[in-house]
Amino acid sequence: MPPTRGATVADRDPQAHLRRISEALDGDGALPHPLDPEGAAFLDAATRLRSRMRVEAAATPPDVTDAVLERVRAEPKARPSPRPLSLVAAAVFVVAAVGAALAVRPGGPIAPEPVLADVGERVLQAQQDVLALDAAVTLVERGAHPEVPVRTYAGTLRYQAPERLWLHLVQDRTSLATGFPANDLDLVVDDGRAWSSGLRGCPVDAQPGCLGDSDARVVSGLAPFAADWVAPLDLVIPVDAFLPGAELAASATGGGVEITTTVARLQRTIDGLRAAGALRAVHATDAVRVELDRDTFTIRRLTVTAGDTAARVAWAASNGYSEPAGTAVLDLTLTEQSLPGSPFPTAPIAVERDAGFADRADPGGPAPTWLPTGFSAHRGGVQHGSGATTTVRSWSDGRAWIRVDVTTERAGDALVGGLGPIVRALEVGDGTGYTDPTGSVVSLHDDGIDAAVSGSVPLAVLVRVAASLPILGRELPEGWPQGEVLESLPEGALRPAGALIARYDGVDLLVALPGPGQTSAVLRQRPGTTLGPAAKADVSQVEVRGVAGRYEPRTQVVTWVEGGWIRELRSEGLDLAALLVIAEDLRP
């Protein structure tokens, strides 16, 4: 049929004609004119359809207000510090900057992809659905040594929930440098037994002589999700970057979700990759772009790019790295595919270390009466060592896990669970519990019994599990260092806008500023009016909260004097800009 007079080229395609009508119905463009009979019929039918959709019978929506308020009030009373907002703001800025840089490509500008609102929440949810992953792995490593500009690897990653994982990488022999042995590596965690083989990392300046030969290290008797040899589960799905309930700006890409952040935020993922062999080190402030699968939130690609902050430059100089800023120093890809053969190899013959855990079908001791839906019993048993015996139970759902340690033989006047010196109190059921600044573990103390609840789940879940234990947490006895927490600060001292987590260390006042991954910071304050002499030559002058201060890049410390107080803000994973933002947000 010849086109109607006045019709466009697109109208010759009936589908394009109908699509224009559809778009015009939604206020996007004008109706094509004239309408052919097919178009008129489509318009008529679509208009009737709209009427039916918009006059649907008004069902009464349920009122979920009370249920929601009950749930949100059940979350820990000590609310997390709002400091991560600053980090989110910084991350948004970085994403915006990167987005702007990417907005023009060969072929013309592209529209930025929409930003995801709650990727962290979804990652935490999705971990429960990851039951197994087989993937082909490639890795490109740049700048490991001045004589090794690039090394490439190929291999596999096999994972079975909750804690069986094998990372196998073989260096491409065409990327071997003279005098350097092949950096092949294996890392296997198979429930209570783990081993790794490969070269051992050593100072860059001493390579290749210090690398020696590849060898194996074997550990048995590992407790479930053992803190001293944690299966690098964050290589599968980066949960740690989003605990405790911290978000990151994310953009949707074709089939994926892309996040731009720093190594500090994804430290556990990077550590998992570097847990075997002699892969190069990266700095906490190096940029990371990670792409997650949009459906499963497993990692598809992770790229670490050398940064150019003063701290990074100082670190690189002292560790023998010389790559220019912007170099993609690690570029990892994971391509999900079916892999043949037996998934988990047996450990090589090697000296074996016993970590002291014995599996038992029923470890005894108190157990929680509440667990999140879907969690089922994983391994349990008894941990010996450090002068105490601890019963351990664990539960898992996919990659997500929860572990409860209970002991009647606590050693010393300290909470169990490795909380560190600064803790904060929480309401746990009808009693009191304690958590570390980042909320990764909940510890209970009662007469003659102590417990710790940890896991890859938000603090609110840990608290609820702890509250279901037959242990009523008490406030810490007089004299326990961790019990000397402050509920208020002396006049003139600064604190974050959110929860106060502080204690004295001698005359110094310590205030914790928690953050996910390695992005936590500590503010140390003491009365004083002058800074001592700078210890290092590379100290730079900076403006902090409107006054002159200084920044020491090697230790990543900002120091300043304000209002009769000497203040020192320190973080392993935050660069100067982030530290200054945090300092700005502090208040009396």
Partner 1 sequence: MDEPDPRVIRAAAAGDDDAFTTLMRSAQPHVWRFLRHLLGDEETAADVTQETFVRIHRSLGRFRHQSRFSTWVFQIARNAAVDEQRRNGRRQRLLGAMAPSSPTPDASLGSELRAALASLSPRLREAFVLVEAFGLTYQDAAEVLTVPTGTVKSRVFRARLELVQWFDAGAPDEDASDEGGHGG
Residues that bind partner 1 (CB under 8 A): 18-19, 22-23, 25-28, 42, 45-46, 49-50, 52-54, 56-59, 61-65, 67-69, 71-72, 75, 79, 82, 85, 88, 92, 110-111, 113-114, 116-118, 121-122, 125-126, 128-129, 245, 247, 252, 295, 374
Phi, psi for 204 (deg, rounded to 5):
-60, -40
Q: Kindly list the distances between the CA atom of residue 548 and the CA atoms of 306, 531, 540, 562, in Å, as whole numbers in the listed order.
A: 29, 11, 11, 9
Beta bridge partners of 524: 510, 568
Say which residues have a Cβ less than 8 Å from residue 242's Cβ, sequence separation at least 6.
119, 120, 121, 123, 124, 248, 516
Residue 211 falls in which region: left (phi positive, over 0), alpha (psi -120 to 50) or beta? alpha
Give min distance, CB of 45 to partner 1, in A.
4
Calpha distance 261→516 (Å, rounded): 12
Q: Kindly list the distances between the CA atom of residue 556 and the CA atoms of 66, 224, 575, in Å, as whole numbers in the listed order.
A: 46, 35, 7
Query: To 5 degrees, how large is the angle CA 18–CA 24–CA 27?
Result: 155
Give min distance, CB of 394 to partner 1, in A.
20
**Measured in whole angstroms, how far is the alpha carbon of residue 367 from the centre of its chain?**
29
Calpha distance 374→396 (Å, rounded): 8
Beta bridge partners of 512: 522
Reported residue count of the chain is: 588
* Residue with Cβ nearer partner 1 (82 or 490): 82
Give min distance, CB of 249 to partner 1, in A.
9
* Residue with Cβ nearer partner 1 (125 or 408): 125
* Residue with Cβ nearer partner 1 (46 or 202): 46
* Residue with Cβ nearer partner 1 (26 or 487): 26
Give min distance, CB of 127 to partner 1, in A.
11
| Local structure of residue 44 (DSSP, 8 states) | H
Phi, psi for 41 (deg, rounded to 5):
-65, -40
Helix (H) or strand (E) holding 53: helix 37-54
* Residue with Cβ nearer partner 1 (331 or 427): 427
Give min distance, CB of 73 to partner 1, in A.
8
* Residue with Cβ nearer partner 1 (202 or 460): 460
* Residue with Cβ nearer partner 1 (234 or 247): 247
Give min distance, CB of 19 to partner 1, in A.
5
* Residue with Cβ nearer partner 1 (64 or 351): 64
* Residue with Cβ nearer partner 1 (47 or 369): 47
Say which residues have a Cβ less than 8 Å from residue 272's Cβ, sequence separation at least 6.
167, 232, 233, 234, 235
Residue 40: other Cβ atoms inside 10 A: 12
Give min distance, CB of 53 to partner 1, in A.
5
Give min distance, CB of 111 to partner 1, in A.
5
Give min distance, CB of 266 to partner 1, in A.
19
> Among 327, 346, 332, 322, which residue's Cα sits nearest to residue 279?
332
* Residue with Cβ nearer partner 1 (31 or 206): 31
* Residue with Cβ nearer partner 1 (207 or 440): 440
Say which residues have a Cβ less than 8 Å from residue 26's Cβ, sequence separation at least 6.
none
Give min distance, CB of 119 to partner 1, in A.
9
Give min distance, CB of 218 to partner 1, in A.
34
From the number of C-beta atoms within 10 Å of its C-beta (0-12, 13-18, 19+), residue 108 rates as exposed
Calpha distance 314→342 (Å, rounded): 46
Beta bridge partners of 152: 140
